[in-house]
Amino acid sequence: MKSWAQLVADTVRMGGVLVFIENQAPQDLTKWLQPLSQLFSGKIPFTVRKESDFVRGNYRTGAHDLIFFFDGQDSVLRSIDSHVQGQRVWVSSKSDMPATVDYLWHTADLTSWLAFWQSLSAQFDSLIENWAGVDSDFTPCLFLDRDDVVVRNVPYNKDPEHVELIPEVVELIKKAHAAGYWVALVTNQSGIGRGRISWGEYKSVHQRMLKLLAEQGAWIDECVWSSFIENESVPEGRIFAGLRKPRAGMFQLVKEKLKVDMQNSIMVGDSATDLVAAFSAGVGKCYLFKSEKMEQERETLEKFRAANSGFNYQAISSASAISLGRL
């Protein structure tokens, strides 16, 4: 690895955490961790976990995390190998490393380790600020709500036979792809969180929608749903609150995965929560699609616009009114 400073900065910039495992770690592990707590004032998030936390599923790493293993932790690595996502670092004075590890941090002793973090503290802020993104490669996305946008709304639908596409939106999806857009579905599904629909039932309805789209030469590139509804009795109803619109979580997930140009993206929804979430995520164009509740939703959106000068939207009665051009 040519630049450990850059790798650490990239990890933090992407929201990752530095992870250490205490089992069979160096006896002076606290000294190895001192520079992270003393030099960076919380700028570099790190955690120390037990092997059992991974094996029992009590702690999960993410793709952006940096997980450190030291000489002597071979058995720990084997034990948690199937439980660990992220980038694995082998800290060793030797020149080799296990095959399941990504990077070798070749350091002879604690002194050189401490010296690295000392040198990083002087340049860390500039590495974060000057992080080179690839914005020029980002692509706009057509974000769509599901019910009363892509399919006719059937409350708490669990029957695939009741799925009916909205033809003009199918054509919009095809036009978006032809224009080089991603297409993503972002949908609140409180029926799951309320216990009214099982995951299996949701899956069958979802896959029926995709099948019908495919039959017309259309597809959706990414689908994200939120089941949160403040229901403590159902697990799906009490977790991932940040995904539920009007929060922007689902849009952020799509943005990170598909490298979305949010400013030139479009949201089509039938409710105020759809458009508020899109605005919060930085989506450039918002359309309120026709539905029985349009006037009520417009009243809500006008109040939101009065309090948020940068927000704008267009109420439309036909998908043909949607412009796919860039801002």
Q: In the prediction, which pLDDT does 95 show?
A: 83
Query: Same domain for 108 and 93?
Result: yes
Which residue reads 């596409």 in tokens?
165
* Phi then psi dihedrals of residue 114, to 5 deg: -65, -35
Query: Same domain for 9 and 116?
Result: yes
Residue 38 falls inside a structural domain: yes
Known active-site residue 221 = no
Residue 326 falls inside a structural domain: no
Q: In the prediction, which pLDDT does 75 show?
A: 95
Gap between the Cα atoms of 137 and 225, Å rounded: 26
Pick the catalytic residue from 10, 65, 145, 270. 145
Query: Same domain for 66 and 166?
Result: no
Regarding pTM above 0.85, the answer is: no
- Looking at 129, 159, 187, which one is the last position of a domain? 129
Query: Same domain for 196 and 220?
Result: yes
Q: In the prediction, which pLDDT does 134 show?
A: 47
Pick the catalytic residue from 10, 53, 65, 147. 147
Bridge partner list, 316: 289
- The answer to whether residues 317 and 290 touch, using CB atoms and an 8 Å cutoff, is yes
List the domain range (segments joined by +) for residue 311. 136-321
Query: Could you state, in chain order, the average pLDDT of each consecutive group of 10 residues for the chain (327 residues)?
Result: 81 92 95 93 93 94 94 94 93 89 90 94 85 66 97 94 96 96 97 93 97 98 94 86 94 94 96 96 96 94 93 94 81
- Looking at 114, 129, 144, which one is the last position of a domain? 129
162-186 pLDDT per residue, tens = 999 999 999 999 999 999 999 999 9
Known active-site residue 261 = no
